[in-house]
């Protein structure tokens, strides 16, 4: 699978950059056993808790307790044998993005033997790596300690997932032809994806995000102007602006 992944990424990376206007980092995909996957995910959560602890003067005791509770929830989830997701883009210790892949979860989600669906997963996560690199924390990535769909009044998760799916569809069409269609969710109904979004909200979140990105890129005129959104959190749409991209465009001056 490693060779297959590498070959696809070499082919897809320039097309992803063409479609999104983002400069991709050196793409890092790691194929892990379920045990190693869960250990890496918990290390990612612990890293976020450590970073939050350095902000202790700005965090209330209640927030710190909440962070501890969220970490315990993750540990409980990951302790379950099947509690892994096909792919998770997280931040490594050096601050660079990386995607963790669990082949067993790919099999359970019927993705491993579906090359086109597998390629779409890899393209989607590559876009997340590009978002994280472009944003450098201004918008992305969202901390695993936050599970809210709306962060500080901004529809950040809608933007991140909608943009990744918008790009995923276009890149897949360029590379493989065929009709642009939503990819069936690879998550079990009770699962939660790696960016903290409950699976039952995922389809609606993606649909609203894709619709916004399509309209916002058109309003901006090109992806380079739209990409201002990654460097300035104030440019992230509100929930209300998801369905009113014209209002968003006027507010941010595009």
Instruction: List, for residues 113-132, the tens digit of each pLDDT value.
Output: 788 888 999 999 999 999 99
Q: Which residues pair with 29 in a beta bridge?
A: 99
Query: 177 pLDDT exceeds 80?
Result: yes
Confidence label for 188 from pLDDT (cuts 50, 70 and 90): very low
The whole-number pLDDT of residue 139 equals: 93
Position 190 confidence tier, pLDDT thresholds 50, 70, 90: very low
Question: Quick one: how far is CA 249 from the chain centroid?
Answer: 23
Distance CA 66, CA 159 (A): 25
The sheet with strand 29-31 has its strands ordered as 29-31, 97-101, 87-91
Instruction: Report, as an integer, the average pLDDT of 17-34.
Output: 95
| Residues sharing a CB contact under 8 Å with residue 179, sequence separation 6 or more, in sequence order | 173
**How does the average pLDDT of the chain come out, rounded?**
85
> What's the pLDDT score for residue 193?
46
User: Is 21 a residue whose pLDDT tops 90?
Assistant: yes
Tell me the domain boundaries of the chain: 2-252
pLDDT attached to residue 126: 97
For residue 86, pLDDT beyond 70? yes
Q: Name the pLDDT band for 108 (thresholds 50, 70, 90).
A: confident
Distance CA 84, CA 229 (A): 31
Q: Which helix (H) or strand (E) holds 90?
A: strand 87-91
User: Cis before residue 114, ω within 30 degrees of 0?
Assistant: no
d(CA 67, CA 64): 5
């Amino acid at each position: 699978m490693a060779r297959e992944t590498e070959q696809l990424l070499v082919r897809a990376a320039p097309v992803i950059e063409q479609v999104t206007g983002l400069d991709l980092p050196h793409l890092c995909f790691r194929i892990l056993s379920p045990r190693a996957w869960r250990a890496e995910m918990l290390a990612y959560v612990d890293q976020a808790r450590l970073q939050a602890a350095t902000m202790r003067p700005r965090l209330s005791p209640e927030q710190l307790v909440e962070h501890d509770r969220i970490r315990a929830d993750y540990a409980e989830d990951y302790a379950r044998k099947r509690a892994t997701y096909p792919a998770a883009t997280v931040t490594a210790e050096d601050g660079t993005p990386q995607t963790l892949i669990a082949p067993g979860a790919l099999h359970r989600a019927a993705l491993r033997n579906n090359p086109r669906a597998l390629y779409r997963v890899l393209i989607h996560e590559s876009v997340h790596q590009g978002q994280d690199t472009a944003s450098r924390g201004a918008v992305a990535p969202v901390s695993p300690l936050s599970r809210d769909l709306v962060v500080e009044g901004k529809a950040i998760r809608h933007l991140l997932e909608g943009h990744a799916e918008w790009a995923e569809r276009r890149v897949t069409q360029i590379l493989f032809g065929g009709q642009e269609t939503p990819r069936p969710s690879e998550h079990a109904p009770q699962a939660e994806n790696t960016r903290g979004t409950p699976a039952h909200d995922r389809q609606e979140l993606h649909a609203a995000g894709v619709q916004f990105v399509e309209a916002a890129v058109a309003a901006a005129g090109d992806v380079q102007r739209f990409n201002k959104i990654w460097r300035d959190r104030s440019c992230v749409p509100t929930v209300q602006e998801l369905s009113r991209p014209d209002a968003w465009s006027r507010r941010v001056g595009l």
